Amino acid sequence: MASGAGVTALAILLLAGAVAVLRSDWLRERVRLRIISEVERATGGRVEIGRFRFAWERLEAEVDSFVLHGKEPAGEPPLFRSRLVRVGLKVVSLLDRHIDIESLVVVEPRVRIVVYEDGSTNLPKPVVARGGKTPVEEFLAFAIQRFRIENGLVEINERRVPLDVRGENLSARLSYERAGPRYRGEVSVRQLHLTPDFASVPPMDADFSVSLEGNRLSIGAARFATAGSAGQGTATVENLLAPRVNASFDARLSLRELLKAVKSPATGSGNVQMTGKYSHSGISDYLLTARASGSGLSVQAAGVRVGNARLTSDGELRPGRAALQKLVVWALGGTFIGEASLEKSRRFHVAGETRTMSIPELARLRGIEAGAWNGTVSGPVDLEGVLSGASPQGLKATANLSVEASAKERPVEGAVNVRPAVAVLVDVTTDE
């Protein structure tokens, strides 16, 4: 009994001591100084902190007006500033006073990177690089369980990029190499949510290496995965003053995710394998070229569904225009060979030749039963229109199709000639 009472008393004392530590000014000051020292050590910049608050019951620290100065001259806007930074902490050991970061929220961050005419920047050098003889020194390593960046903005000279990001299990290890000098690092993140204005990007896992040397940024061994897609690639950014981007990639893309990403009214299923390159010299000067192939594809739009299709194609994307060349589609019991284009995300044009497409399959596209009629159509076709809402508008079609029998029971054969707004059936015969 005495022994049990002693253990209980000891546990109560330890709990009371733990609460006292969590509520103490020592911990509050310890956290504030740790934030300043760690950021200054890792970046080599100078930190300013506004009002600092610490809620011991939630183990949560908040900093108003967090500012990091780089090498920019006095009077210029800083390298980084944020209206609010909220850090959730996790106590690993009270006895050792070991505290880790569990969550991070950054509200209205503004990152301002200046590239001067001589190629130098306002990025500071980490403190560890200023002393010692080690050629490679790790200056930053962290792991955060959850993070969120709200209403952010990255500014590189006159270029501005909005930044709204959240994710989980973010980890990074960054080092500084004197010989370059250059920065190198490895970054890993899970369930990364990006919200660009021009696309709907699904949550993804990503792992990549990064290197910054002078005016050149390299991203290597990059791998990503979403619920339905996966890929890998590399990229370089030359001359941050007037960025030139070159990238290569190899990816297996979910057609459903791809159509949703470009905000298409169509839905689909199946996977497309894509290998290509991307170059970028400005918002109105970019080019993506790729070779694509896919099988088991299904697409539905404007009440029409095409299933169990295969395709191969070369493609390119440039300002105001997307195009597919050398397009071959196996569907509806036959083949289509041609090309397709989309101008300014609205006007589309498809032209090519159909070969032995099934009449019953074509009839089912519009919910029409062909009965026992059997046959195929072949010949040139041309279709154009404007994407508007759930269905295309202003459709214009031309075709010159031959119809051939393909079965003994009620075969059909002849010719079909189609012109805009007029459809003429010529010399169609059956065995009846």
- What residues contact 234, with CB distance under 8 A and at least 6 apart? 218, 219, 220, 221, 222, 247, 248
Q: What is residue 427's three-state secondary structure?
A: strand
Which domain range does residue 166 map to? 23-201
In the chain (432 residues long), the average pLDDT of successive 10-residue segments reads 45 47 60 78 85 80 90 91 88 58 91 83 70 58 88 86 91 80 89 80 93 86 94 90 89 90 82 94 84 93 84 92 94 94 87 91 76 80 82 83 70 60 44 46
Residue 33 lies in a domain: yes
pLDDT in the model for residue 3:
47
Dihedral over Cα of 12, 16, 19, 21: its sign: negative
pLDDT in the model for residue 143:
83
pLDDT in the model for residue 428:
44
User: 152 with 139: CB under 8 angstroms?
Assistant: no
Residue 289 lies in a domain: no
Closest by CA position to 353, among listed 337, 329, 339, 330: 337
The total number of structural domains in the chain stands at: 1
Residue 386 lies in a domain: no
Please give the Cα distance from 139 to 157 (Å, whole number).
27
Residue 382 lies in a domain: no
Residue 363 lies in a domain: no
Whole-model pTM over 0.85: no
- What residues contact 323, with CB distance under 8 A and at least 6 apart? 315, 316, 317, 339, 340, 341, 342
- What residues contact 68, with CB distance under 8 A and at least 6 apart? 39, 43, 45, 46, 47, 48, 78, 79, 80, 81
- Return the DSSP state at 411: B
Would you mind telling me the total number of residues written for the chain in this entry?
A: 432
pLDDT in the model for residue 180:
67
Residue 211 lies in a domain: no
Q: Which residues pair with 165 in a beta bridge?
A: 149, 194
pLDDT in the model for residue 362:
83
Residue 96 lies in a domain: yes
Closest by CA position to 94, among listed 11, 19, 33: 19
Residue 29 lies in a domain: yes
Helix-then-strand count for the chain, H and E: 4, 22
pLDDT in the model for residue 138:
67
